Amino acid sequence: MFRLASASPRRSELLALTGWKAIIEPVEVDERPIPGEGAQRLAWRLASTKASRAAENAASTGIILAADTVVADGDQLLGKPADPDEAKQMLLALRGRDHRVITVIVLIELQNHHEIVEICETLVPMRNYSMEEIEVYIASGSPLDKAGAYGIQDSGFQPVFSESLQGCYTNVMGLPLCHLVRTMRRLGHYPPVDVPAACQAYTGFPCPVFQQILGEDA
């Protein structure tokens, strides 16, 4: 059903939890922000660009799914660190504080060229991890391929104070699943599995917001 315009293994893994089939068709875009561009505008522009480019080369049926996730510390946008030193700087800056993670989902139904946009924002509380923990985490190499230099799912480091997290957990991973389900409903498509249950089993996080997102059908 889906043509996923992303090379992210995390998005592919998360999408599989919905039970919907997907063909992975990555699209390359320049992800550098335009001067003065905010987090939501950047995520929207990149997701829309990915979806449009994927649609140009796709067959006439199916649904294009594109998403972009931006980590924002105030007005500063945090991409993937260029090296271990930059990873350390990011982790020190985020330590013990809240920051925002914004994902924009763009769906294009190819048969009728119907496009829908969904936005999810999560306020992420970081725990007060030690310098030693930072050093061990960076030595693992894991922060270097992640925006903001961390993965919420990295159990060895556990950078996020998850007990205080009130928003969507998988948004921080790169694909807010209940927001995707809500968007697909607008196109008349329903997942073959209980997505909130599958999501919580996968993440181990007791989600406090899925009923709010999905309403009575959750």
Phi, psi values for residue 190, rounded to 5°: -125, 140
Catalytic residue among 68, 85, 98, 194: 68
Tell which phi-psi region holds residue 86, choosing left (phi > 0), alpha (psi between -120 and 50) or beta: alpha
Gap between the Cα atoms of 74 and 55, Å rounded: 34
79-82-84 Cα angle (round to 5) = 115
Say if residues 28 and 216 touch (Cβ distance below 8 Å).
no
Sign of CA dihedral 40, 213, 8, 64: negative
- Percent composition of the chain: helix, strand, coil (DSSP 3-state, to 5): 40, 20, 40
Question: For residue 209, what are its two tokens?
Answer: 């917001």
| 194 tagged catalytic | no
Q: How far is CA 151 from CA 12, 119, 145, in A?
A: 16, 20, 9
Beta bridge partners of 125: 98
Catalytic residues: 68
